[in-house]
Amino acid sequence: MSVQIVMDRSGDTRHEFDAVDANAVALAESRFNELTGKGFRAVALGRDGGGSDRVVSRFDPNVEETLFIPQLQGG
């Protein structure tokens, strides 16, 4: 099971999807495109927590955890 974690002002929301379910993958890809289109940064989280995280610009259904971080705003 893969998960997309969306950070926002209220905390975080987790959206799980099965990478072998075509409908779930389509929904996850749509969410990825919507969020990155709004300026969220997508980060594929590494399994070991040892710094293997990487910023991604394209949806990959095989990434187990993707963290979406909102764009920082000054003020």
64 inside domain: yes
Total domain count, the chain: 1
Tell me the per-residue pLDDT of 21-60, one tens digit each, with 9 for 90 and over.
Answer: 999 999 999 999 999 999 999 999 987 656 679 999 999 9
User: 15 vs 18, 23, 51, 74, CA distance in Å?
Assistant: 10, 14, 23, 28
pTM of the model: 0.88
* Inside any domain, residue 74: no
Q: Which domain holds residue 35?
A: 2-69
